[in-house]
Structure 1
Amino acid sequence: MAYAAFFQGQRPEGLKWLPTYCVVILGGVCLTAFVYNQEIFSVLNGKRSPVWDSFWLAWTTMGDGYLLGVLLGCFIAYHPRIAALGLATLLLSAVLVQVLKALFPVARPVEVLQTVHVVGPVLRFGSFPSGHAAAGMSAGLTLYSFAAARITKYIVGTAAILIGLSRVFVGAHFPVDVAVGMLVAVLSFVFCAAFVWPIIAERVWQRPSWNKRRFRAFYCVELAAALGALFVYSPLFAESAIVGAAASTCMVVLVATRFRNYLFARGQHEHAEDELDGSKR
């Protein structure tokens, strides 16, 4: 239960000021990045070392949409409404990113600049906007709005920013791609918080409902997704197989531990009922 104590699943907080601040800040960043796009990229991407490269590759791996989807799905075992809003925001931002990529077919830095330090797979097309930045900010905003402690807010907010920055350091995106990707995530979160959250609050359980067949079905899907991330996705598709496997292992443990606790509590309850029946006899 210590994990669940970091978040509260009643309603997202900060909706009156958080999106406004994000839009204003990211708007300024977008404008600056648009004017000095290649210059900023060259400065950030030029900082390289084995340790530095590993650091940013780890963060860019954590920005993968599938891994973040599994991470948000883990909350079904603790606060199902957080999982529902997070996945809705993540899905909407992913759709918008793909639409923008189709409308604005921008080449990646490796196709535009002569010198690019690439860490991880070499990507050549579909630069604008950054899907990793959008996914990271979508998850970050969701968890930030539900975080119960200020330190938790700082951690998830910093993680979202580092995921976005990592895309420049590994040579996959220009700064403007990252800024617009984050802005797409903010707008997606605002839409979902305004129009999807009321539906979630009405139809999704506030706490895990193990006695509900539909809940158990969703839980099994999440566990299967976490196992798929560990044994299939991480070794085959993740930018860093080690980081992906480590993150996936943590997710499997979180979900499986919650189920084990449920079985243990259920066993104790049934044992207590048996003892009560025996005493009555």
Structure 2
Amino acid sequence: MLELIQQLDEGALWWIAQHLRMAWLDPLVMFYTNLGNGGLCFIAVALLLLVFRQTRKSGATALTALAFGAVVTNLTIKPLITRPRPWVVMEDFVCLVTSSDPNSFPSGHTTAAFAFGVALFLTVKPKWAKAAALAAAALMGLSRLYVGVHFPTDVLTGAVIGTCCGILASWVVRRVSERCSRR
């Protein structure tokens, strides 16, 4: 079963590299995907949200979701699974960016993007902001495939983990907020 998944993953990445990559789009996608490095962009926005009273709960939820995602993905699953990056196992495959982390599964960028995006989706009011948060998360996952640093199952799993972290963080922050308001 794992061999079949690996074959499908490799086939999908070859298809993306051969049919979707365009010279004019490469720098834009590389810039966007690098925004997720270390989760710093997400952390910065979450900290900014903490500054303003009306967005404080969104900021707290986003930071909590990012922390959950980092623990689950980067500190737990990646070191246990140790799936190599596409360029290691796919002969002649060209990646557009490099990664210092040798482990591919699951995608940490996608986990962080979905943790952040779902946290905002659940805590902000404007519909455009909800849509933008989820669209930005989806674009991060797609960018990881486009640049060739992850297999599709890495990105899909990162999206699921990030979504769960966003939901859990929303629940935790709501509970803590309720308990604090009772005192």
- State the TM-score, normalizing by the size of structure 1: 0.57
Shift in Å at residue 111 of structure 1?
Answer: 0.2
Q: 2:115 and 2:176 mapped to 1: Cα distance?
A: 19
Q: Which amino acid aligns with 2:140?
A: I
Q: Match for residue 121 of structure 2?
A: 144
Write the distance in 2 (CA, Å) between the matches of 1:148 and 1:62: 25
Partner Cα separation in structure 1 for residue 168 and residue 128 of structure 2: 26
- Map 1:263-278 → 2, pairs under 5 A: none
Note if contact 1:109-1:124 (Cα within 8 Å) is conserved in structure 2: no
Tell me what 2:40 maps to. Answer: 66
- For residues 33 and 5 of structure 2, the distance between their equivalents in structure 1, rounded to whole angstroms, comes to 20
Structure showing greater radius of gyration is: 1
Provide the C-alpha distance between the structure 2 equivalents of 1:122 and 1:94, rounded to a whole number of angstroms: 16
Distance 2:36 2:118 in 1: 14
Paired residue secondary structure (2:104): coil
Alignment correspondent of 1:51? 24
Local SS of the residue matching 2:24: helix
1:89 aligns with 2:65: yes
**Greater shift in the superposed pair: 68-77 or 112-121:** 112-121
TM-score scaled to structure 2, two decimals?
A: 0.85
Residue 159 of structure 1 aligns to which amino acid in structure 2? A
- Whole-Å separation in 2 of the counterparts to 1:175 and 1:109: 10
Checking the alignment, whether the CA contact within 8 Å between 2:49 and 2:58 is kept in structure 1 is yes
5+ residue gaps, structure 1, are 1-31, 205-281
After superposition, give the CA deviation of every residue in 1:115-159 in whole Å (9 maximum; x if it has no partner): 323222255721000000001111111111223222222222111
Distance 1:143 1:33, change over 3 A: farther
Any gaps of 5 or more consecutive residues in structure 2? none
Q: How big is the alpha-carbon RMSD for the aligned residues of Structure 1 and Structure 2?
A: 2.1
Instruction: Spell out, residue by residue over 1:97-128, the C-alpha distance to the aligned partner (whole angstroms, 9 max, x if none).
Output: 02101110110000010132322225572100
Identity of aligned residues (%): 24
CA distance in 2, matches of 1:132, 1:186: 13
